[in-house]
Structure 1
Amino acid sequence: MPAYSLEPQVPFGLLVRATTAGQTIANIAADQIMEWVQAHRILIFRGFNLFDKTQFALYAQQLGEPLQWPFGAINELKVKPDAKNYLYTPSAVPLHWDGAFIGRIPYLIFFQCVKAPRPEDRGGTTFADTSRVLARATAAQRSRWQQATLRYRTEKIVHYGGTLTQRLVQAHPVTGEATLRFAEPVHDLNPVSVEVLDATPTEQADLIGELQAALYAPEVFYIHTWADNDIVLADNHVLLHGRDAFLNPNERHIQRINLLARPAHRGLAQFLKNSKTLRRTEFLIAEIPIFLIPVLLSAEDFRFLKKPELYVGLAGIYLLFNFGDLVNAYADRRVDAVYKSHLSNAVFELGEGGVRWQMRASVASTVLVSVWLTQRTGRWQFVPLTVIGWALGFQYSWRPLHFKSRGVWQLAAQWAVIFFGPMAYTSSLVTHFPQPAVLTLAAAYGLLQVGVLMLNNAEDYPEDRAAGLHTAIVALGLHHSMRVAQAITGGAGLLALGSFTYLFKVEKLPKVAYLGLLPLAGAVAYIAQGYKTINQKIAAKDETAAAAVLKENGMLVPQWLKATAYTSLVAASVLFATRILRSSNQPSQTTGRKTRRSAV
């Protein structure tokens, strides 16, 4: 049983103090914690052990859905020398609410204090209870506030920004009580302007001043002075929060997770949302060319569109992709809690048993599809390709093989299970067996995309190494792996262009058709230049600094994947279109010859 004492704070809040050493707040029922939050607005746990980062992110799922930021679920609140936002400076932070500019407002803010500033250095976190502000306001004030609408503007820097318009008085989405949705103007790095709509400049200044006076009244305002190992939960809807300026910037380190409120009842919509999340539908845009390029290279005409095996087969290969995504998310649910919290949370909400059930259903469906295709077409390769897909998809993430942690074998597994195998499968939907030239192109295309994915894998280098994963990037080393990636993409890009050129020559395409290869050539050159620039940037940096550069360039990965995928699809479409044009011209040419012979 947890041992603690309860100490109400003034003017609001509850301090939960551990009375025996070695406890964590995980020993206290989550329902009890949520009751305390609703009653007291802010909870301070003192004397409890901190979580490590993974435990912190995993435990947070007990209280709500962690909000996924570009940097992951955990925001490291400490001073940064190159800060672009006032949050990462020792300056004061005006009152605000979290999530303002991203369209998803968290219910709870979950803090844990790794290193507290000395009391004399200040740096406390400030809170204002807006329900108390409304309760203390005069009728005239409440009337003005209820009619007010405010517009906030800030440049998008770091992880938020833009323009936002909000009613000042809003209902709490969980409890229904009236709250104030207000943020003070910011005159610092990344300034925030506040405009009261339909008001004169004087009226705007008066309203903002009135709100500030009300929010900083002692009866509604609380400053939390941090102590090492403090854990704090605060209601982000009813409270506004900020920060007192502080000295000795290296002496304050707080970790924060924003938690969205979960639906009271998790129905079908939530089930479908989580199931979709685990299937990584964001990758579908890059998967479509994997499916279509081999089909276009192998089909002779449009008749394949009338055959049901095409659509059943595409569904089957997509289910295989789903299986791999489900297995990977399930296996990495703990690791993903920090940096891919949406995946870990989806596993949490579906339940581990629910995810395993979906994996089994995917396997069963692919069995039925492969057997049906074999019987329908007489092509033997569907069953072994499906079995190999299961094996690689499962063993990529799980022992004994665990290809993800087998050094460069990770790259081979990605090449086979994501690219080469599926392309051989979809080609087989429209031809008895893929041509060697098509398989060569599939191999080159897969290598090209794997080379791009190495940048994506490199983003996770610090976390993978800390987790003991012996990925390809860890095995090769951060700097060397990026040089290898540059070589792979360059070589594979040339091989892909050569394969397309060979296919064009075999089909005797007119010279103008070769213009269809220019977009792919441009995409390969674009990636080559990108990797060259990245390697130049990291050449003289240590691994920590180099990893930061790679994270900054991570947004290039989807651009590069789509660039090579869709330019390859263009080239395949040119070849297929030429076939169609030739086949449509042949009957007319034959008819013309017969007419001329008859005339003679």
Structure 2
Amino acid sequence: MAEREASYLRALAPFGAEISIAHLSRAVFAQLPSWTRKYRLLILHGLGELSSDELLRLASAIGEPMSQGTSLIVDIREIDNQFESFLFSSAPVPLHYDGALGSQAPDLVMLRCHRSSLRGGGGEGLYVDTVRSFQLLAEETKETLRASTVIYQLSDGSARTIPLIARDMYSTFETIRLVANIADDGWRNDSIEIAARDQSGRDVTSTLLSLVEQLSTPVHCYTHIWSAGDIVLVNNHAILHGRRSFPAGAGRHLQRVHIRCNDAITSKLSHSNFNHPERNYELQKGLEGTDNG
């Protein structure tokens, strides 16, 4: 890939940042962890078509790509197979964080748009910075959520019990750790049943459902309209993400890479300060440490 610099970095509302990049230089590679640390959601524009090797090169500049079954890259597109996850359909995906109900959650999620929804639109990405959102909640609500545990009943008969509010092992910041089963349009994922209890055993499921509805509003949620070539970097410790539905046969195709960061980078990601950007940030000409060799 040619060695050019980012042309601008612009803060988004209500959180996150987008960067216009012609091609990736070593200086831009070096900046990606700090930008993700600061904004938690980072959108890269302008890279055009990347090969799988180039996508993994980008991921490897930040951390270690993790195996997702049999591959380091998962193709997320509609397929005609009723036994596959709804992730591979045109249905919406409720807010969640990756790896929540599995054995290991990645530190970062990288999503690349190979093809957006060509017919009828839809399929927008939905992102919620839960560090920011938790801080915006009323104190009474915070106390209820801190005392709440979510019980997930899965379709295979197993169950998972996970505290709703967590502090990352590297951080003092509170985050909302949630896998919702209802999308913002009311679509329901019937493969998961969710209930919530407080420390006394009281049912607080209604509070949880109200929280999911609140997080889906523009005050908390950034909506990304995908274009081919877009790359989104998500801090999986802080961000919940999902998608809206799109018309069947629309041709939408994303690729996903899970990234494990080393302890130093993960600690920096987790200690990101509360950030509600109000203005644009221009990159200095010739980023520090630029190497055009």
CA distance in 1, matches of 2:202, 2:124: 33
Structure 2 unaligned regions, length at least 5: 266-293
The residue number in structure 2 matching 1:512 is none
Q: How does 1:188-199 map to 2 (within 5 A)?
A: 191-197=191-197
CA distance in 2, matches of 1:188, 1:218: 21
Closer/same/farther in 2, CA of residues 121 and 200 from structure 1, 3 Å limit:
farther
The residue number in structure 2 matching 1:327 is none
CA distance in 2, matches of 1:37, 1:3: 15
> How far 1:98 sits from its partner (Å)?
0.2
Structure 1 unaligned regions, length at least 5: 266-600
Q: Which amino acid aligns with 2:78?
A: V
Task: Choose between structure 1 and 2: higher helix proportion.
Answer: 1
Q: Answer yes or no: is 1:167 the counterpart of 2:166.
A: no
Q: Which amino acid aligns with 1:37?
A: T
Partners of 2:16 and 2:42 within 8 A in 1 = yes
CA distance in 2, matches of 1:210, 1:248: 30
Q: How does 1:146-545 map to 2 (within 5 A)?
A: 146-155=146-155, 162-185=158-181, 191-197=191-197, 203-264=203-264
Closer/same/farther in 2, CA of residues 60 and 162 from structure 1, 3 Å limit:
farther
CA distance in 1, matches of 2:205, 2:68: 33
The residue number in structure 1 matching 2:61 is 62
Q: Structure 2 residue aligned with 1:5, among 5, 8, 12? A: 8
> How far 1:171 sits from its partner (Å)?
1.3
Secondary structure (helix, strand or coil) at the match of 1:217 reads: coil
Partners of 1:121 and 1:248 within 8 A in 2 = no
**C-alpha RMSD over aligned residues:** 2.5
Q: Which amino acid aligns with 1:167?
A: P
Q: Which moved more, 1:27-36 or 1:181-190?
A: 181-190
Secondary structure (helix, strand or coil) at the match of 2:155 reads: strand
CA distance in 1, matches of 2:171, 2:201: 35
> How far 1:248 sits from its partner (Å)?
4.2
Post-superposition CA distance 1:351-370 (Å, at most 9, x none): xxxxxxxxxxxxxxxxxxxx
Q: Which amino acid aligns with 2:12?
A: Q
Aligned length: 257
Post-superposition CA distance 1:284-320 (Å, at most 9, x none): xxxxxxxxxxxxxxxxxxxxxxxxxxxxxxxxxxxxx
Q: Which amino acid aligns with 1:166?
A: I
> How far 1:249 sits from its partner (Å)?
3.1
- The two structures have a TM-score, normalised by structure 2, of 0.79
Partners of 1:124 and 1:226 within 8 A in 2 = yes
Closer/same/farther in 2, CA of residues 49 and 42 from structure 1, 3 Å limit:
same
Task: Choose between structure 1 and 2: higher strand proportion.
Answer: 2
> How far 1:45 sits from its partner (Å)?
0.8
CA distance in 1, matches of 2:76, 2:138: 37
Partners of 1:149 and 1:167 within 8 A in 2 = yes
Closer/same/farther in 2, CA of residues 188 and 89 from structure 1, 3 Å limit:
farther
The residue number in structure 2 matching 1:364 is none
CA distance in 1, matches of 2:239, 2:199: 26
**Larger RCO: 1 or 2 (CA < 8 Å, sep 6+):** 2
Partners of 1:41 and 1:239 within 8 A in 2 = yes
Larger Rg: 1
